[in-house]
Copies of this chain bind each other. A is one copy, B any other.
């Protein structure tokens, strides 16, 4: 097998917490690994290979009972550690131990480590201030897109596309008239664009009004895109009444938020895209959260066809050398960091056995 195009020894968002509820497991592929997520004892999240050691049935079609994942075919009961705990009339001690996954519920998401489990370290899950600070509110959703996860990173690290893809909401001519600046800070990439003294586009006018501010006056607008590995992009966006310091303006002069993007490879050419918006104004206004979520959902849906057709084009012309312009610097630098991480994984040459039977039981 070729080396995958994504790091595997890292944390990815696998699901929104509410997707795994009650006694119903969730089957989802992450980085090519078929995983059954379910809630074990005390509602704790667990993740095991979605493959019953008995006859290969999909465990995610089963149900949870007494904290164990019951195979819906013949009743094998799987534990969170990949070991079979019980099976009617069977002694299960010799059953092969299946792959289980380090998994953590945090910030309203299910995080999973798809690669070498011995390296999984929960301290490496990034801190998300907006998810724990009561002054912030968050709303978001999930899209499945048939494209390489790096195309979505490119997309988010170059917001020039807002002018074209999102013309009626957040796009405006001034975006692509304003140069961007990209800096690399260790494993983080920052691409920033500032547009001073412009009129706000429809989405931001509504945000100003929603925040009790005049919307027909000049504003200073900012976009601060922040890539961190493996594929998270947080974008500080907002507008402030012009001349008040822009991003640093006092709260009563601006409307701002953080666009949250977790991009999880499903396969080499498909992703689970967790998108959302975190805001630090009116955090208790759930109707506003829902309004923003809907608006953002509609806007981000405009990217789907663009990315899927781009993916098809790149598969048809695999050798075409894509241009790397200044506006592409964010994506290009992010890919360099990713490439280094993958190279390091290769070098370590960690041998991960997808299915590592302890022993087989002969009949």
By a beta-carbon cutoff of 8 Å, the part of chain A in contact with chain B is 34, 50-51, 53-58, 61-62, 70-75, 87-90, 95-96, 154, 158, 160-161, 163-165, 176-179, 305-306, 309-310, 312-314, 316-317, 320-329, 332, 354-355, 357, 360-363
Asked whether A322 and B54 contact (CB < 8 A) given A164-B72, A306-B72, A328-B363, the answer is yes
**Neighbouring B residues of A177 by C-beta, 8 Å:** 88-89
Distance (whole angstroms) from the CB of A39 to the closest CB of chain B: 19
Distance (whole angstroms) from the CB of A362 to the closest CB of chain B: 7
Distance (whole angstroms) from the CB of A303 to the closest CB of chain B: 9
State whether B73 touches A325 (Cβ < 8 A): no
State whether B57 touches A309 (Cβ < 8 A): yes
Q: How many copies does the complex hold?
A: 3
Nearest-neighbor residue (CB-CB) of A313 within chain B: B56
**Neighbouring B residues of A53 by C-beta, 8 Å:** 323
Contact for A325 among B51, B354, B361, CB less than 8 A: B361
Distance (whole angstroms) from the CB of A348 to the closest CB of chain B: 24
**Neighbouring B residues of A161 by C-beta, 8 Å:** 73-74
Asked whether A321 and B357 contact (CB < 8 A) given A55-B310, A56-B313, A154-B55, the answer is yes
**Neighbouring B residues of A324 by C-beta, 8 Å:** 361-363
Most central of A34, A55, A309 by chain B CB within 10 Å: A55
State whether A323 touches B73 (Cβ < 8 A): no
**Neighbouring B residues of A62 by C-beta, 8 Å:** 164
List of 5 A-B pairs having minimum Cβ-Cβ separation, nearest first: A324-B363, A88-B176, A58-B309, A56-B313, A321-B360
Cα-based distance from A53 to B317 in the complex (angstroms): 11
State whether B309 touches A75 (Cβ < 8 A): no
**Neighbouring B residues of A312 by C-beta, 8 Å:** 58
